[in-house]
Every structure is written in C-alpha cells, then in structure tokens.
Structure 1
C-alpha cells in the first residue's frame, strides 16, 4: 500500500521571515530596476486612472483566461473591457500602499527579465496563448514560494472582484442583483 499523505512543509517562523525578506528584496529590486530603466511608466494610459500601457498586455492575456467558463466567446471582448474599467476604478480607490504593491506586481510581470523566470512566459504577453497563461497561473498557485502564491491570490481577487461587481456577470452566477429600496 502506498502512503498518499502529503508531508507538511517545514514552516517555521524563521523560514517564513526568510522567504518574506527575500521576496520583499526581490520585488523592491525589480521595482527599482523597472523605475530606473524606464520600463515602469508611472502615467496611466489615456482613459484610465491607474492602469498603464505596460499593464494592458498582461491584463488582456490574463482576464479572458480567468473568465473562461463564465463568459461566452462572443461576449469576451466586452467582458474584458468592462473588467478593466472596474479594475481601474477599484485600484483608483485603494490605499496608497496596496496600490504600490499592485503596481510592483504588474511591473514584475511586465519586465522580460523577471517575467520569463517567474511565469514561464518567455515572450511578450501579446504572444502568450491561453494555455501559457493558465500554466503560469497554475505554477503560481501551486508554488512552494509563498510570495508567488500571494501574487496568484492577489491577481485572482483583483480580476474576480472586478468582473463580479459588474451587472452583466450576475446572471451567470444566479445573483438577481441588489434589492431595490
């Protein structure tokens, strides 16, 4: 008989602090590198309050994969644009610290030097197939690195909250909408 029990990782306070420190140093270095190299444009794309041109390629690749099954193919372009509008609105109304962390995450995902090793997507996001994006999401969700798992959870929450805050998403999940007062 095979033992199918998974061993729990050796998670101690010291290991958690080490991972957190390394992850913070990595994100800070990547963010600083992006800022100094000009890869991180701090100005929003026209029509958006927060989302930048460098974020759009990634988000246009990510959102359809995350909404697959909830949106039909013919409605996907409108769903992506609506989700982007909701995401931009939400990011414009979060705390400055949370916005800073989200922008750093987007920078890490946009820079080729960090995108390839961390996501497995070595080319640009425009050329990434839905299977490539799903593989990246699975990689981060099942990673042994806590920072990547947190990144996956953040992306999932950002996109899902942005989509399900929209009235056109409610029918799919059986939500009749807020009660009229």
Structure 2
C-alpha cells in the first residue's frame, strides 16, 4: 500500500516533470535562460511574485503610477533576497512552487487563474490567495503562508516602509 509520504513525493516529482515539460514546450525547445534577475528569483518567477504582491499588500502600496511600480519591483527584489537567505531545501521547494505556478495548466489547476499572471485581475489573484488560505489541504495553506510571509517580510524589511507602522528603525549603535 502506498503511504502518504510516497504519494506526496510522487506528486512533487510528477509536478516537477510537468513543469520541466511545460518550460520546454513554452520555449519551443529553445534553451531557457537560468540566470537569476535578483538573488533567489529567476526571470520566470518574477511575474508570479509581482502579481501576488498587490493582492497581499492591498492598501499599503501607493495607489498608482511610478511609485506603485517601483514599490512592487522593490518588494519582488526583497522576496528574492529573502529566498536567497533560506536553506537550500526551502529554496528548492519555493522554486518548485513558482515553477508550477508559472506553467499555464498548473496555474489554472492549482490557483484557478486562467490568464497569464501579468493579465490576471486583482480580484482573481485575491480569490486564489483566499482559496489557498482557507484550503482543507495543509500543503496549500502552508504555500499561502510562505507567500504571505515572504511578501510581508520583503515589504516591511525596507526602511522606506517603516514609517507606516511607526517603527523608528533599529537602535543606533553607541
């Protein structure tokens, strides 16, 4: 009889295989760039994070314009830095999550988001996040918690955002 652990491992391996196949298919079997745009994030992962940031930081981001774009880009970079500081196993798990969310069929199946991340509406992304937050599956709830904590950590880890929460910054060294 198959154990729960074996089932989960098979699912992760199968998902990774689908992710790899999807990447090759979407690139027309061309060599994919693997260089990271920022530490911890690849070029393919950035749209996923950039779409999730406004949903998690609703109300905290500037309303519109260049300030909003800059704040989102800065937060995405901060998420990359945070991921780079995690253990190798945690980085691998997050890479697998982002890869699955980057592939259209898996994005549709796991998140229920049909358009590409760049074209998805804030309501669609918020619904996907709320679905994961309240899911019966522990795996989806923990994935939501990871995304939530990474985004909030990146946002409030930036000194420009400390004033909004009344944090004066770290104490001065004497």
In the superposition, the TM-score normalised over structure 1's length comes to: 0.81
Corresponding residue number in structure 1 for 2:34:
43
Q: Does 1:79 align with 2:71?
A: yes
Please list every run of 5 or more consecutive structure 2 residues that lacks an aligned counterpart in the other structure. 27-31
Distance 1:109 1:103 in 2: 10
Change (3 A) 1:174 1:22: farther
Runs of 4+ in 1 over 6 A off after TM superposition: none
How many residue pairs match? The answer is 163
Corresponding residue number in structure 2 for 1:152:
144
Corresponding residue number in structure 2 for 1:175:
167
Distance 1:173 1:21 in 2: 45
Corresponding residue number in structure 1 for 2:53:
63
Corresponding residue number in structure 2 for 1:3:
none
Corresponding residue number in structure 2 for 1:142:
134
CA contact (8 A) 1:27 1:108 kept: no
Corresponding residue number in structure 2 for 1:97:
89
SS at match of 1:54: coil
SS at match of 1:105: helix
Radius of gyration: which is bigger?
Answer: 1
SS at match of 1:94: coil
Please list every run of 5 or more consecutive structure 1 residues that lacks an aligned counterpart in the other structure. 1-16
Q: Does 1:123 align with 2:123?
A: no
Among 2, 17, 20, the alignment partner of 1:32 is 17
Deviations 1:101-158 (A, max 9, x none): 0100101111112110111101211110000000000000011111111110110011
Distance 1:88 1:174 in 2: 25
CA RMSD after TM alignment: 2.0
Change (3 A) 1:24 1:123: farther
Q: Does 1:53 align with 2:38?
A: no
